[in-house]
Amino acid sequence: MKLATAILLVGLGTSAAVAQPVPAGFVYLRDIDPTIIQDMRYATANNFVGRVLNGYEAGECIVTRRVGAALKRVQQDLKPRGLSLKVYDCYRPQRAVDDMYAWAQDGSEMPAQRRYNPRMRKADLFRLGYIAKHSGHSTGKAVDLTLVQLPVSKVAPFDPKADYGDCTESQHRRAPDSSVDMGAGYDCSDEKAHTGSKVITPQQRKWRETLVSAMARQGFSNFRLEWWHFSLPGPGNATFDFPVAKR
């Protein structure tokens, strides 16, 4: 009897450790709209740093409840058009922001990193505004996302050893992604990734305009240097550093 009780207590303790609640006002996007596709890059090696960033214990999108509700409305607007949102990053712990900044300042230039900033040194990313010491993502009010045509096309899994083209090359040369062709890959630090870039095709521009307008209808603002980055203005500008844990 005592052994059974002890086992039960241990089990309860383990569950509590895994299922730590997020702070008040934050939600897991899956609980708001499970139809929104998630491809959480910083919980994998498929990102410009080439490894999992500090604070990402799981590939889950966490946002404020207000942002989650707005994203659900965007998704409802897109679905009749045969489209879906796909999120790359949502809430970002401050420790991950610090990790990015330290990486940009370490003086090491790696071949894989050139896929994301082919025309500049990574030390320039901070000076030019691509990396900062503080991020709106840490407030839970910013998201990185794209569009996917439904039904979702199957693509090959990311291979960290593959010789992919850089983020400005044609879509078939870049790392595999099920999204529409926006003219530059996610997290591309290049003029071609600027939302209003003049060096993309009419179809690529149309896709960007479709995303920006769908997000704008629900109050989101786009960051001009990154076609994928959107934030929802409003109250709640405090930054957080809780880890992205399993839902």
Task: Inform me whether the pLDDT recorded for 8 exceeds 70.
Answer: no
Task: Inform me whether the pLDDT recorded for 27 exceeds 90.
Answer: yes
| Top-confidence residue, 73 or 1 | 73
Sorting pLDDT into bands at 50, 70 and 90, what band is 20?
low
What is the share, in percent, of the chain residues with pLDDT greater than 90? 76
Cβ(195)–Cβ(224) under 8 Å? yes
Cβ(101)–Cβ(134) under 8 Å? no
Task: Inform me whether the pLDDT recorded for 12 exceeds 60.
Answer: no
- Model pTM? 0.89
Q: What type of residue is 16?
A: A
**Size of the chain, expressed as the number of residues it contains:** 247
Q: How far is CA 155 from CA 152, 176, 179, in A?
A: 9, 6, 10
- Write out the two tokens for 76: 């409802």
Sorting pLDDT into bands at 50, 70 and 90, what band is 130?
confident
Domains and CATH numbers, the chain: 22-231 (3.30.1380.10)
CA 99 to chain centre: 16
Look up tokens 């569950």; give the residue: 15
| Top-confidence residue, 5 or 164 | 164
Segment 151-168, tens digit of pLDDT: 999 999 999 889 999 999
